[in-house]
Amino acid sequence: MIGNNLISIRSEIGEASRRFNRDLEDVQLLAVSKTRPIVDIMTAVEYGQYSFGESYLQEAIEKIRALESYSLEWHFIGSLQSNKTRLIACHFDWVESLDSLKYAQHLNRQRPTSLAPLNVCIQVNISEEPQKAGVSLVELQSLINEVLELPRLRLRGLMTLPARCSDFVEQRNAFHKLSVVYKELQDSGIVLDTLSMGMTNDMVAAIAEGATLVRVGTGIFGQRLNN
């Protein structure tokens, strides 16, 4: 099932890329493997998937250690907490959910010098949902400026989780807001190459609006397992 799902998702990404005049190479697939057992990840690897997203730290550390011989790329996509940043800084290649200077400073200080700088995306609360993590557009530039000063972090781009919606036009409207900001930042001279947005049910709209990375869990692994 996982192999067939990966083939189907990649085909859908390709079709969306062609439909909206995107280069296929510009849209990367992140397999969201949180709650999934190691055997599922290994199956995905057999089908050529090497980038995985995790939210639950202890579960993720076990997977990373068990699969360290596979040279996989690990993205932390969950909520940051002060008592988690050291392990995240030591074990992950990416953090996509950075939303405060405090956590940026923790990650910068705790990133081992033996490793390359930690790739980070700033999470933006594009739908302005009070219960959701992420900085507002008003706060974004200030945090970007601060992160750029931290030598053990490498700012790669922006990430968002807009309010859930089934209407394609509304999905595009939400992603368009961040896409415009992303392009404005690039035009201002800030080097960014990652716009992480879109999941199983809205990735086509995200690709239409310029996503360079889509995060797919259910579409690859099936319904989420209880953690």
* Residues whose CB falls within 8 Å of the CB of residue 82, separated by 6 or more in sequence, listed in order: 102, 103, 106
The total number of structural domains in the chain stands at: 1
Q: How much is the average pLDDT of 48-74?
A: 97
Closest CA to 214 of 30, 26, 8: 30
Provide the mean pLDDT of the chain: 95
Residue 152: CATH number of its domain: 3.20.20.10
Per-residue model confidence (pLDDT) at position 128: 82
Per-residue model confidence (pLDDT) at position 224: 65
User: What are the tens digits of pLDDT across the range 103-134?
Assistant: 999 999 999 999 999 999 999 998 887 778 89
Domain that holds residue 30: 2-221
Instruction: Report strand pairing: 153-160 vs 73-76.
Output: unpaired
Q: Is 56 a member of any domain?
A: yes
| Residue 179 banded pLDDT, cuts 50, 70, 90 | very high
Sign of the torsion angle spanned by Cα atoms 165, 208, 2, 37: negative
Phi, psi of 178 (to 5 degrees): -75, -35
Q: Is 76 a member of any domain?
A: yes
Q: Is 226 a member of any domain?
A: no
Sign of the torsion angle spanned by Cα atoms 18, 159, 54, 168: negative
Q: Is 227 a member of any domain?
A: no
